[in-house]
A and B are shown apart, each in its own frame.
Chain A
Amino acid sequence: MPNEDLVRRAQAGDREAFDALMTSAVDRLLGIARMILHDLDAAEDAVQDALVRCWQDLPALRSADRFDAWLHRLLVNAVLDESRRRRRQSRRFAALRWEPSVTDVSRDLADRDALENAFARLSVDHRASIVLHFYLGMNVDQAAAILGIRVGTAKSRLHYATRALRAALEADDRRHSAGEVLA
């Protein structure tokens, strides 16, 4: 949680306070943006846009305790803007594999491969739904509010995307079970 005092100081134009807020949040924002956009360069552009917008509009934020939620909303909007901007290039990125993340070595490799492949096949909108729900712990209503879509559409996207990821894991489980039987 950001220090609410820092938020208030930043609202009053204190750049150092904003810098402290940015420093504490930037890794998390980059992680979210990279997950959705599937590309670190695009994620950096989106995070920069979100942070600049955050700085510009911060005085209008009603209550400091909503800073986190508001920043996530700005980030997701920036990510979707960036995605639209790079729509043509993204078709090429979709064929690329993800860079391994720092903690990948400790993850189950089978899960990772199955989920990476399934996740890469999802649209940006579906990936955003998954990240907001499973990574940021938002319910469908909150995700709909952030994505600016109808609750029904948010549910549909999350349902579809979750089903795709679950199916990938189940298929992987079946392959493992078959392998154990054969062994």
Chain B
Amino acid sequence: MSSRPDLDRRIADWLDGQGVVHASDQFLAATRARLDVSRQRRVFDLGRSDVGMLAGDGRLLRRGRFEWPLTPRLVSVVLVVALVVAAMVIGSMSVGGVLTQRSPLPGARGTIVMTVGSTLVAVDPISGTTRQLAGELPQNDTPFDHVGVEFSPDGKRLLVTPSSGEGVVNLYLANADGGDLRALWPGVDFIGSAWAPDGGKIAALPAAGVNRGVGVNVSGRSLWVYDVESGSFQRYDLGIDIAGIEWRPNHDELLLFVTEEERGAALVRADGTDLRPISIPDGPHAWSADGSTIAYGGGDGRVHLLDIATGADRILTFEGSEGTSEGPTAFSPDGSKLLIKRSFLGRNVAPPGYPYCCREPWVEVVVPAAGGGPATVLGTEEHKSIGGPGGSGMFSPDGKQVLAVYTQDPAGAWMFDPETGKGERQTWWSGGDVMWLPGLAP
């Protein structure tokens, strides 16, 4: 019988052969023709700050390069125009006009935190003002700068998870401002971690059987639970291979995604007891705030609401969900609404300004958690045609707004009213991930 390294070498050899393809002249000509009609996006760099860089089309970007020649003449023209506009605005105020606060929408609460490179930026959702939090996040040597950040639900502490390669991470704990950073378990590799709902504990899955040469078969078989206040921790052997972990809201219990069965999942108490399977796929899902129910998509326009206590699986459809795949991503804080990523299966559109190709769009939709309608589609007609936000949207802590980040034009972070679907681009966004916390410790 062949050894695993030998089997892996044969797989790699076979792939090497499959990867040999020569582009035809016809294909190259067609590609060049498409390139000829496409426009390169110009990017400005207005300073050294990571925050507030503008693209040529007005989008805000994390980092950019100065490309257009800003001649003194051009600068003076821009300044004159800016002064004229400012004078007009002031004039309108003087005759009774009112300057409306463009963004974000009023009523938002809590704090938005944005990762910008290796720094953290806190955003006031009311004023849109930003401040850089102290401290630098630990970096890694991978080409992707993959540093995960997760705040405790109470906003007091920060768990930082830089990758150490091979698919594992190290865990660092810090104050909410990034200060007092320290390794939680120095030298130990983990495959996942999760904050307890009250912020008092951290559950972590230490990696077992890391194959340094191959990087596969990384899984955890034990559960470590760290008590933040006392600094003590307990280890529990679960006896199954686990690839992912999250904490069940409002419960001292964890949801595990099991490696061996691929789509398997299980619940276990935080003391390592009462391990039991649960029938949900490893895909988009949302917990109700009280942790009693989990919503997941069936891929067929339907959403399942699984009652954890009874095992009852309630199936819902929504206004406009026929012919779609519904991926629930969040309950509103009061549990009355669901935020859903709706994909339109097999329905291709040609976005405006994107003449050469079609794509299958998806949108963020807010629907009643009880099913039916109305289904409120978030965004403008442009949003509806480009394929949705780059990640999942999120409710504000008070449920009055939804924040979503779009990676294609009209790119940027957008804040929407879930009742009307109308929203505005957020001027503070400068790239990176965003989180919306109920609060952030000073």
Binding site for B on A (CB under 8 A): 11-13, 15, 18-19, 22-23, 26-28, 30-32, 34-35, 40, 43-45, 47-49, 51-52, 55-60, 62, 66, 69, 81, 84-85, 87-88, 98, 101-104, 106-108, 111-112, 115, 130-131, 133-135, 139-142, 144-146, 150-156, 158-160, 162, 165-166, 169-170, 173
- Interface flag for B381 (CB, 8 Å): no
Binding site for A on B (CB under 8 A): 1-2, 4, 7-8, 10-23, 27-28, 30-32, 34-36, 38-43, 55, 61, 63-65, 67, 142-144, 146, 163, 165-169, 191-192, 215-219, 243-245, 257, 259, 262, 282, 343, 345-346, 348, 356-360, 387
CB <8 Å contact, B21 and A31: yes
Distance of B354 from chain A, by nearest CB (Å): 9
Contacts of A144 in B (CB 8 A): 146, 167
Please give 5 more A-B residue pairs, beta carbons under 8 A apart, in addition to A153-B282, A159-B243, A166-B4: A47-B31, A60-B55, A66-B143, A140-B166, A154-B167
Task: Classify the secondary structure of A's interface with B.
Answer: helix
Nearest Cβ on chain B to A27's Cβ, whole angstroms: 6
Chain A residue numbers with a CB within 8 Å of B63 are 60, 62
Could you tell me the distance in whole angstroms from the C-beta of A128 to the nearest C-beta in chain B?
12
Contact call B7/A166, Cβ cutoff below 8 A: yes
Question: Which one of A35, A162, A173 lies within 8 Å of B19 (CB-CB)?
Answer: A35
Question: Chain B residues with Cβ under 8 A from A87's Cβ?
Answer: 345-346
Are A156 and B262 in contact, with the CB atoms below 8 A? yes
Known contacts A60-B41, A156-B243, A30 near B55 by CB under 8 Å: no
Bound-state Cα–Cα, A130 to B214, Å: 12
B11 & A130 in contact (Cβ 8 Å cutoff): yes
Are B262 and A101 in touch, CB under 8 angstroms?
Answer: no
In the bound complex, residues from chain B placing their C-beta under 8 Å from that of A35 are 15, 18-19
Per the bound structure, the CA–CA distance linking A159 and B163 in Å amounts to 19
Cβ–Cβ < 8 Å partners of B19 in chain A: 28, 31-32, 35, 101, 135
Knowing A26-B23, A145-B144, the reply to whether A139 touches B1 (Cβ < 8 A) is no
Some 23 contacts from A to B, beta carbons below 8 A apart, are: A30-B27, A43-B21, A45-B357, A55-B40, A59-B64, A60-B63, A60-B64, A62-B63, A98-B18, A101-B18, A107-B13, A115-B11, A134-B11, A135-B16, A139-B166, A139-B215, A141-B142, A141-B163, A146-B144, A153-B243, A159-B219, A166-B8, A170-B2
Q: Which of B17, B21, B35 has a CB less than 8 Å from the CB of A55?
A: B35
B117 nearest CB across to chain A (Å): 9
Q: When A69-B143, A159-B217 are in contact, do A85 and B10 touch as well, CB less than 8 Å?
A: no
| Chain A residues whose C-beta falls within 8 Å of the C-beta of B18 in the assembled complex | 31, 34-35, 98, 101
